[in-house]
Amino acid sequence: MVFYPTNRDSWSGAPALPYLILAIAPLCWAGNIVLARGVIDMIMPLSLAFWRWAVAFLILLPFAWRYAVADWGMVVRHWKIILFLSLTGVTCFNTLLYTAVHTTTAINGALIQTAMPAVIILISLIAFKETVTKRQLFGVALCVLGAGLVVLRGDFSAFFTLALAKGDVLMMVAVVIYALYSAFLRWRPNIHPMSFLIYTFGVGALGLLPLYLWETSGAIPLALNINTVSSILYVAAFPSIIAYLCWNHGVAVIGANRAGLFINLIPVFASILAIFWLGESVKIFHIIGMAFIFVGMVLFNR
């Protein structure tokens, strides 16, 4: 197995840059969650997932073609890890997320996702024997506390009234699957980042094709209008191409455990987007929760 080169030395002059790049991914994914919840009456979950990756593949193809051709031999030699990462990071996770938002509330879904950093750390401990200090564990706890404060709107007693729905279970499975993707990114072959995306997007979309055909076999065809087309274009460009480029690169540079904490920024960014898009106001729990997350991430990454 060939490990993806991190080129850590090349970042010595700009130590904050990988973290800034990583922050772009949860920002895009926060928009993905908000949009997915908003289009549940217009686009079925498997259809949204399939067209997201199919369109992302087509957008990326002209830019990645020469890299994909050059890296074909390496991809064939390491097809197992390419297949694993495609199914976990592309086919399964997003399909489960889009399906989950049909049967769970936004607060439940956001809260469950904050468990992902802890799951990534657990997988890294078991699979790769990585060590975590007490200070880092305290940093993780602060991040989870801050994210929980944001999604519970400052009322932790609401945690005990959350009802476990089908969507909650799907989100739990999705969290584990994406944690596996993030932890095992270290095993991706030494190929160009554009090649890696085009192959994983293509394989992931192929994995979704039979599910998409099954979902649409007896349903009304997808209505092509400004709302559905713009929604698909958004999820294809921002949560897919841009977010995955930033996330994969960030994980390669600082490691899965550190990068995993950035998942806690999703509910923070989702709250900010709701303020601008839905006219909600800033509350004191937003500020306190964001402060907890920031301090926790600094503690873990020092």
pLDDT tens-place values along the chain, 302 residues long: 333 444 444 444 466 788 888 889 989 988 888 888 778 888 899 999 999 999 999 999 999 999 999 999 999 999 999 999 999 999 999 899 889 888 776 666 666 777 777 788 888 888 888 777 788 778 778 877 777 776 666 777 766 666 656 887 888 899 899 999 989 988 999 999 899 999 999 999 999 999 999 998 877 788 888 989 999 999 999 999 999 889 888 888 888 777 877 877 887 787 777 677 756 566 777 778 778 877 877 777 66
Task: Answer whether 266's CB lies under 8 Å from 107's CB.
Answer: no
Task: Answer whether 159's CB lies under 8 Å from 148's CB.
Answer: yes
Task: Answer whether 154's CB lies under 8 Å from 284's CB.
Answer: yes
Compute the chain's Rg from CA coordinates. Answer: 19
Q: Look at residue 195 in the predicted model and tell me its pLDDT.
A: 94
Short-list 191, 183, 228, CA closest to 55: 228
Residue 138 host element (H or E): helix 134-151
Put simply, whether the predicted model's pTM sits higher than 0.85 gets the answer: no
Tell me the pLDDT tens digit for each residue of 239-267. Answer: 999 998 898 888 888 887 778 778 778 87
DSSP classification of residue 74:
H
Tell me the pLDDT tens digit for each residue of 193-204. Answer: 899 999 999 999
Assigned token pair, 266: 């999703």
CB atoms within 10 A of CB 66: 12
